[in-house]
Structure 1
Amino acid sequence: MSDYLHRTIPNLKPFNFNRHHDALFIDQQWVLVNGISNKKSVYTFKTNNILEIARKDNVIKTSWTIILNNRLSIETEDGMITVNAYFKDDDILVLNNQEKEEFALYINTTTYEDDLNSIEDIQTFLKEKYTKKVSTIIYDHEFYFIENSKEFGPFKVEELAKKVKDKDISIYCFVRDVNEYDYSNRLRIIDLIKELE
């Protein structure tokens, strides 16, 4: 991954064929965020290596191919390009152009009821998505916390809040969901408690 992309969008996970291809990538409606204010484009990657790009009443059919791991080749109006594919999460896809210091960001709107036609729509989508995600994580999961280079847990948020109230741990300790492998999301106990208020 280029330093430019990593600095701009941290914590990207490379496209993984087994995990992403069938469940999250193929036959999904990916709205291109770049330039959405001027022209809305919806990309649909098909199983037969056809890429459909829908713009207003016009649908362009072109091709795409997996070259290796997370590297794809895509035929565009400007010719063939090579990109590395990454997921920010299940609904956000990033294609990083290998020839230039630029990337395209897409949002999966397949199951989203409202249309995304502007930057404001995208902001609303992301706010709703992450508010729902945080609420789900908080109420449905347990967390580990790290303090003085040691890991403890897992605990429910209510248990962590009690430990903070009893001054057993700092409200600024980093936490991770039991399904996460590290603390790269930089989530703290204070962030969880705020969502309970």
Structure 2
Amino acid sequence: MMNPRALIITAGAACVCALIAASTVAQSTQPASTQPSAEEVLHQLMDRRAENPLIEPARPLGDATTRPAHDSPHRMVGHAPGRKLPLRGEGQFVISRRGRMIGTQSPHLRWMFTFDSDTDTLDDPPMILLPCQLLEDMEQIVAREGDAAAFTISGQIFVYHGANYLMPTMVKRVADRGNLQP
């Protein structure tokens, strides 16, 4: 004879199995679902897709073969007639050179650095200053003290469209001693 407890557990398990089998048969005999097929969904999405609007350029595009007008520092500042200063090479460094900042009329090339030249060997062309935090500090000094503010500058030289560009790495304000010389 079987234990009454085991009999109850066996009967309960049989009922659960019967319910699961009945629900599976009922699901398989129901009519097909109303869900669309993958192909129908794809067609619906393709029909809903909007064309991207064409965004017109803010200014007319020029001919790709023409170069934009570019003022080199030699044309902006100028040198003695008949004298052309050679460009410094890409990647060279300026080390502890004294000079002044000059504002330009060009909106793209706002500041240039002209070197003080005491001898013929230190006659470098003016260089366009590349934007950085040190340039911002120099601008504040020039705004406060005027164009006579002199700086000692170090930095790396870059060449672009026939002009030298200077990326300052060290800038020091030169103290104005008036007419006193060391």
Q: TM exceeds 0.5?
A: no
Normalised TM-score (structure 1): 0.21
Higher-RCO chain (CA-CA 8 Å, sequence separation at least 6): 2
- Which structure has the larger Rg over C-alpha atoms? 2
Normalised TM-score (structure 2): 0.22
Instruction: Name the structure where strand makes up a greater proportion of residues.
Output: 1
